[in-house]
Amino acid sequence: MKINNSNVLLAEPDKLAPYRIVINRTMPFDPATLIGDSGLRIWRGPRVGDGLEGDEDHDYRSFCVDFFDFTKLSRSGNFLTELKSGEKSINGERRRWRLLRSSVQADAKIGEELFMQDGQKILRMIYDEFKIGDVELAGTVIRNSEGKRCTLCLCRDQEKRDGSWFPRCTCLDDDRHANVFALNLLAHAPSAFEQKIRPWGARIPR
């Protein structure tokens, strides 16, 4: 799987390096296991429902990514806030709506692989090179024990001071500020990637 575009984070499996990871799609993402909260599950059905029935709420376009090359990351191209001029913060649901319309959002399985990577090399690189310490995986919606919609966020631990990161759920009812970046897979989807991912049936808000 390879597309020649600087913003498409795909790599050939036989060329994977320390800063390139394999996304194991044979093991579905389980928020309860990753975060350690048995009340967490993937949101199902429409946003206005109870989250218990229907299709899982993902940006399914992200699911075609099996090999992820983080050496191609750029701060401006792959980390978005979707804040417009004059905005200091934005509601989480509103931001996700903007994100899905503008680009392909990394799903929570990618976040899980980042967190579980030996030594968290890629997350450390993201902080060292871009000074980003909060990364949202807006491609997957999680339902918490209170029935609220959330997303997975990976956060650099400021208390341990060892450069390690931890996962948490962030409610989409809450505002997102300029220091919280959503990881997108490409800033402007080229036609080849569009054709590759279209069969997954991503729900793009109108």
* pLDDT tens per residue, range 97-155: 999 998 899 999 999 999 999 999 999 999 999 999 999 999 999 999 999 999 999 99
In-domain check, residue 2: no
> Cα(201)–Cα(204) distance, rounded to whole angstroms?
9
- Give the pLDDT score at 137: 98
In-domain check, residue 125: yes
Residue 69, strand partner residues? 20
- Model confidence at 198, pLDDT cuts 50, 70, 90, reads very low
- Give the pLDDT score at 88: 95
**73/90: higher pLDDT:** 90
> Cα(98)–Cα(54) distance, rounded to whole angstroms?
23
pLDDT per position as a tens digit, 78-93? 999 999 999 999 999 9
In-domain check, residue 5: no
In-domain check, residue 59: yes
Predicted confidence (pLDDT) at residue 192 exceeds the cutoff of 80 = no
The count of structural domains within the chain is 1
Q: Which domain holds residue 114?
A: 13-200
In-domain check, residue 148: yes
Residue 54, strand partner residues? none
> Cα(35)–Cα(85) distance, rounded to whole angstroms?
35
Predicted confidence (pLDDT) at residue 160 exceeds the cutoff of 90 = no
In-domain check, residue 8: no
CB atoms within 10 A of CB 165: 23
- Give the pLDDT score at 10: 55
- Model confidence at 49, pLDDT cuts 50, 70, 90, reads very high
Amino acid at 206: R
Structure tokens of 45? 């059905």
In-domain check, residue 80: yes
In-domain check, residue 206: no
- Give the pLDDT score at 206: 45
8 CA to centre of own chain:
14
